[in-house]
Amino acid sequence: MQTTAAVESIIRVLSPYLGETMARASTRGVCEKLGIRGESMTPQEAEALVAKLASGLSVFVGREKASQVVEEIRRSLDGTGKPA
């Protein structure tokens, strides 16, 4: 899947909950920590990114809402390649 498209899709989903700046910084920061670089990412990298974001998201919106947001992220990635 294309990294830029996946990251932008995740940011769009997270923005209503975190604000665009925090969503962008969080997503890009986690990509950096996970070593996700380049034009494409594997489904395993995408899933690791989503999982890492989910753990931090639960602090902001609670565990139950975080689960819903994670499912929304996964649905948004369907167009760019759903994580395994």
> Please, which residues have CB within 8 angstroms of residue 82's CB and are 6 or more apart in sequence?
43, 74
Query: In this structure, which amino acid lies at residue 7?
Result: V
**SS3 category, 2:** strand
pLDDT (0 to 100) of residue 1:
87
Type of residue found at 41 = M
Number of C-beta neighbours around residue 58 at 10 A: 16
Whole-structure pTM value: 0.87
Give me the tens of pLDDT residue by residue for the chain, a chain 84 residues long: 899 999 999 999 999 999 999 999 999 999 999 999 899 999 999 999 999 999 899 998 999 999 999 999 999 997 654 444
Q: Where are the chain's structural domains? A: 3-79
pLDDT for the residue numbered 78: 79
pLDDT of residue 84: 41
Given this model, what pLDDT does residue 79 score? 64
* Euclidean distance between CA atoms 3 and 31, whole angstroms: 10
